[in-house]
Structure 1
Amino acid sequence: MTPSAERVAGAARHWLEAPRHGPLILGLCGSQGSGKSTLAEALKSALEAEGRRVAVLSLDDLYLGRDARARLARTVHPLFATRGVPGTHDTARGVALIDAIRAGEPVTLPRFDKARDEPAPQGDGVPADLDLLIFEGWCVGARPQDAGALAVPVNALELEEDPQGTWRGHVNAALAGPYADLFARIDRLVLLAAPGFEVVRGWRGQQEDALRAREAEGTQVMDEAALDRFVQHYERLTRHILIEMPQRADLVLRLAADRSLVSAFQAERITACTAPARRRGAVASGPA
């Protein structure tokens, strides 16, 4: 495992030993290209090797399909045709899944087919009585911005395609409503903190290069201009997360531009993990 994965695994082992009711729900937040999906799978493999029952749910697998997003694009704002931001996920399904897992029930985790831009017809079965659910995604655990922060566009996309702030206002309202309900079910929150949004464009470009090399000729891959526009959809909230979330996350891993681990900070909770940690305050114990 990488140093980042080892650090999260150590924290997860500690949290799993704490008294709790039902499985531990571990939120893993990281910008596009930060390595969160790879880390989640490494953590799953390591803990399963120790006899733990572990599953991974990606926020990406809760995406709404094309038709549902097209309705949002018609009725709210055209930018909702692009999947990714709050408002383009099936949060009710996420809530139902996590509640069923908490109750010790077997479930089928959804999968989203990005090539088809539609939910996959079949998901992955998860047995009853999990020990740990890793819930990963680029904005997992995010909180809304203050209304005043929405007034000034952060990039050309917002300035030219959302001049009235309708799209970003709806995204913010979704974070304050159904996404807050979903994220309240997280017990512990880990943040993979990029050194700044400036590196995210490069990280996302590396993902696109890998896709280009892996997929057959003719597969749709974004060119540089399309990629520049695409990442602007995520800029506002990514910048907000990097400022706001470190103050309350249970574990913050600060990454260098090459994704190597620079430092780690872990908060300690006064109470045992018997209720979602997002509803409790954090007491920082100092650098880990």
Structure 2
Amino acid sequence: MTASLDAVERALDGWRGDGPFVLGVCGAQGSGKSTLAEGLTQRLTAKGLRAATLSIDDLYLSRAERARLGKMVHSLFETRGVPGTHDAEAGVRLLDEIREGRDVVLPRFDKATDDPAPTGTPVKGPLDVLVFEGWCVGARAQDDAALTAPVNALEAERDPNLVWRRFVNLALATDYADLFVRIDRLVLLAAPGFEVVRDWRIQQEHELRRRVGEGGRTMSDDEIGVFIQHYERLTRHILSDMPAYADLTLRLDAQRGLT
């Protein structure tokens, strides 16, 4: 990850001008994007710059809001993750305030309770750099024709009429496009393929289990396999589509090393 961090830091030095700068970092689950974002923020702070990190995960809707979306549109929206399960409008307002140099409170999401944390992180403006990271940050909508064939059993069995995937795609083309256009530069941590994402996500869950203990809320390997099917379509699309427009693409091997 050090090589990837060095590469992003060098690129940022060339990109950044005067005023607040929003750097987008996209990467599949387990690719190391959060580690990179935190490491970059620490390096920038050590240089005397005002830097902060925001994860798109911190924009998730509450359990109650996702439950309402599940009843109104499709039950798959009760599971957080895909476009449509974030408060994109709140994200737009937040990035606008940051770009204007204002004081802000960065929201935080508590995955243990599956709800937004009651308090966020106050940040005094103006920021020099906001690192905005997430698994679908900067993603573009797919062509409608690409939605027809299911990519896995989850889509085939639970979304046979394409309601869920079409709503996700519409969200990407509208509210999320409005959010992502506020990114100044975009970095992609490109996994070697979706197949490795399951192993990366399982590693994350095992590390979480070691931290919280056996009594904590964690998923089994089989549950992870089902869970990541929610992310499969868009992850595959990002890996094929985003390198054409990302400002920097860092290709990773299965050990997350920079190739």
Using structure 2 for the length normalisation, give the TM-score: 0.98
Partner of 2:247: 250
- CA RMSD after TM alignment: 0.8
Asked which structure has the greater RCO (Cα within 8 Å, sep 6+), the reply is 2
Paired residue secondary structure (1:191): strand
Residue 4 (structure 1) aligned with residue 1 (structure 2): no
Partner of 1:126: 123
Paired residue secondary structure (1:234): helix
Q: How much has 1:217 moved relative to structure 2? A: 3.0
Alignment of 1:183-194 (within 5 A): 183-194=180-191
Paired residue secondary structure (2:228): helix
Partner of 1:15: 15
Alpha-carbon displacement from aligned partner over 1:194-223 (angstroms, at most 9, x marks no partner): 000000000000000001111033212111
Alignment of 1:132-151 (within 5 A): 132-151=129-148
Partner of 2:39: 42
Cα distance in 1 between the residues matched to 2:199 and 2:222: 13
Partner of 1:284: none
Partner of 2:101: 104
Cα distance in 2 between the residues matched to 1:13 and 1:118: 36
Partner of 1:278: none
One-letter code of the match for 1:62?
Answer: L
Q: How much has 1:47 moved relative to structure 2? A: 1.0
Residue 66 (structure 1) aligned with residue 63 (structure 2): yes
Partner of 1:238: 235
Cα distance in 1 between the residues matched to 2:51 and 2:12: 11
Residue 156 (structure 1) aligned with residue 153 (structure 2): yes
Paired residue secondary structure (1:190): strand
Q: How much has 1:248 moved relative to structure 2? A: 0.5
Alpha-carbon displacement from aligned partner over 1:126-160 (angstroms, at most 9, x marks no partner): 11111111000000000000000000000000001
5+ residue gaps in structure 1?
A: 263-288
Alignment of 1:169-208 (within 5 A): 169-208=166-205
5+ residue gaps in structure 2?
A: none
Q: How much has 1:97 moved relative to structure 2? A: 0.6
Cα distance in 2 between the residues matched to 1:77 and 1:225: 23
Cα distance in 2 between the residues matched to 1:225 and 1:41: 30
One-letter code of the match for 1:14?
Answer: G
Cα distance in 2 between the residues matched to 1:94 and 1:132: 16
Alpha-carbon displacement from aligned partner over 1:110-135 (angstroms, at most 9, x marks no partner): 00000000000111111111111100
Cα distance in 2 between the residues matched to 1:225 and 1:129: 45
Using structure 1 for the length normalisation, give the TM-score: 0.89
Cα distance in 1 between the residues matched to 2:107 and 2:168: 23
Paired residue secondary structure (1:233): helix
Cα distance in 1 between the residues matched to 2:196 and 2:221: 15
Alpha-carbon displacement from aligned partner over 1:2-48 (angstroms, at most 9, x marks no partner): 000010011111112x4x5x311100000000000000010011111
Cα distance in 2 between the residues matched to 1:104 and 1:2: 30
Where in structure 1 do 4 or more consecutive aligned residues deviate above 4 Å?
A: none
Greater helix percent: which structure?
2
Partner of 1:273: none
Aligned residues: 259
Partner of 2:212: 215
Cα distance in 2 between the residues matched to 1:223 and 1:53: 40
Identity of aligned residues (%): 63
